[in-house]
Structure 1
């Protein structure tokens, strides 16, 4: 009877075959929140323990999702293959190397070797996926309607290499960071233009994809972090990246956060762009020493924290009521 009860409970929760790869965006968001609170300890004097606790949650989430998705891959390989070749969903595989890269920064605080190992794994995976996705697009016959913000995720992954490894001690790390900055920067410019053209000239995104609009700020804020980590300075070009990303966030905020947009896993698409903006705002405020920028950094960090708490609770809710893992 106990075995039957366990099986029934598993059936109520759902099947791992329906575990969406875009749920790894949650690890990106939580990791970004941990890094933001780590920087906040320098700007606001908050306790580093907050960042530590959030970082632990991010690591545990990544382990749980990795086990779940590997199980899906072994038990339902065709489901994973279909997801990978999908013109929109396939781009979310870029959330996996980004998660690894961000976790390398979190873990690296406690173990340099572990952090460096994760960075190498994340960098190698990022370069492979960048090649695969760009090659796929260059096959031609792409529908302009598929030019959605998710196209930017593999591009942002390239930029995240420099965010996590801008100061790696390896003699070859400088050129790898430069390579990834070049790939991410130029590809982001091209893809952003294509996506903007689609958003202007074609029908609005479906409600389920609306939260992904915030991904559009990713290349600018992640680009700011990657560029400043690589050059070890904040110059006028970096300032332009930060301010345009901030402007775009304000424009898109009121288009995304509406009651008419239903909740789903796709909402995690707002988490990392907001986390990148928060990290960039704090870093810029530490550089400029302006009360206005300090206030902006505080508002964005508070907003990010609230949004991620709500997303975390609502995701657990749809997991245990059986909606998350049901076909």
Structure 2
């Protein structure tokens, strides 16, 4: 009888009220993977099939998450407001704007006009969100321990405007891209200093936030991509951005990728910075035309691809087991 009763009650996957906003980082990572494999076509002559498939997956996940989070907003608006006002969780709302900007590049391959529309939406959203978070920062009375690497996410979103919009044909796009580089570059430097100070002078971050340390490379690698897209060339300043981001990644890699750190949705925080690093490495290798850099870009792409596959599979497992949407 007990077995029959158990069979009549299928296991619940959880409640939409517990849908974490940082899951939008999965769209960022998978979109970045799609763009990286498209860049790999130029460097290695790789097929664009992987780029096409991962791009479609990123679009599908974004649509599903958007529907889910809108449902959460409608039914549990107080939870969404609390998350947005939270000094740490609130930063992950920047993953939505960055996801939109990256998807504009993914979709732009198939429909230039549609990609441009999405870029405009992402640009307005990213600038508005950055304004809110900088205003919030200047209100004062912040706890230093709350300045974690995730604080960079809303700022990096402005840098992504020029990453996705470097080739936009609009007459005003040049100034908007310059504006985004100015805001993102200077504010990222301020936030990076605050975060570095917190990591040095305060207790280590909780295990759940440790994976997000990789986000610290984002201002440099995304900055490299945005700056080179804007300038349409790679100069010594761009090279400095790339190489420092690469060095910082090697330092943080051994601090983050440990078996002792439990898996959760926060692990997707490693995917987007690695996507930026992979795309930057491929672009730099194509520019330098040096076999060590070409080999390095291939290794980074392979590691990044493996990380995304593992994250995807383990996240699906959490969802099916009912652990992902559990309070």
Under a length normalisation based on structure 2, what TM-score does the superposition of the two structures give?
0.97
1:39 equivalenced with 2:54 (yes/no)? no
Q: Aligned with 1:23: secondary structure? A: helix
Q: What's 2:29 paired with? A: 29
Q: Aligned with 1:247: secondary structure? A: helix
Q: CA deviation at 1:46?
A: 0.7
Q: CA deviation at 1:167?
A: 1.2
Q: CA deviation at 1:49?
A: 1.4
1:259 equivalenced with 2:259 (yes/no)? yes
Q: What's 2:271 paired with? A: 271
Give the Cα separation in 2 of the matches to 1:167 and 1:294. Answer: 25
1:75 equivalenced with 2:79 (yes/no)? no
Give the Cα separation in 1 of the matches to 2:142 and 2:166. Answer: 34
Q: Aligned with 1:12: secondary structure? A: coil
- Regions of 4+ moved over 3 Å: 4-9
1:176 equivalenced with 2:176 (yes/no)? yes
Q: CA deviation at 1:91?
A: 0.4
Q: CA deviation at 1:215?
A: 0.1
1:207 equivalenced with 2:211 (yes/no)? no
Q: Per-residue displacement from partner, 1:30-61 (whole Å, max 9, x unpaired)?
A: 00000000000110111011100110000000
Give the Cα separation in 2 of the matches to 1:6 and 1:232. Answer: 61
Give the Cα separation in 2 of the matches to 1:239 and 1:205. Answer: 31
- 5+ long unaligned stretches in structure 1: none
Q: What aligned pairs does 1:159-308 form with structure 2 within 5 A after superposition?
A: 159-308=159-308
Give the Cα separation in 1 of the matches to 2:312 and 2:251. Answer: 25
Q: What's 2:59 paired with? A: 59
Matched residue count: 323
Q: What's 2:148 paired with? A: 148
Q: CA deviation at 1:190?
A: 0.6
- 5+ long unaligned stretches in structure 2: none
Give the Cα separation in 2 of the matches to 1:17 and 1:7. Answer: 25
Give the Cα separation in 2 of the matches to 1:28 and 1:96. Answer: 8
Q: What's 1:313 paired with? A: 313
Q: CA deviation at 1:204?
A: 0.7
Give the Cα separation in 1 of the matches to 2:8 and 2:142. Answer: 44
Q: What do you get for the CA RMSD once the two structures are aligned?
A: 1.3
Q: Aligned with 1:263: secondary structure? A: coil
Give the Cα separation in 2 of the matches to 1:131 and 1:259. Answer: 38
Q: CA deviation at 1:6?
A: 12
Cα separation, partners in 2 of 1:52 and 1:185, compared to 1, 3 Å:
same
Q: CA deviation at 1:283?
A: 0.0
Q: Per-residue displacement from partner, 1:285-309 (whole Å, max 9, x unpaired)?
A: 0000011000110000000000000
Q: Aligned with 1:230: secondary structure? A: helix
Give the Cα separation in 2 of the matches to 1:53 and 1:324. Answer: 25
Give the Cα separation in 2 of the matches to 1:111 and 1:295. Answer: 32
1:108 equivalenced with 2:108 (yes/no)? yes
Q: CA deviation at 1:8?
A: 4.9
Give the Cα separation in 1 of the matches to 2:46 and 2:9. Answer: 45
Give the Cα separation in 2 of the matches to 1:305 and 1:5. Answer: 39
Q: What's 2:158 paired with? A: 158
Q: Aligned with 2:12: secondary structure? A: helix
Cα separation, partners in 2 of 1:100 and 1:7, compared to 1, 3 Å:
farther
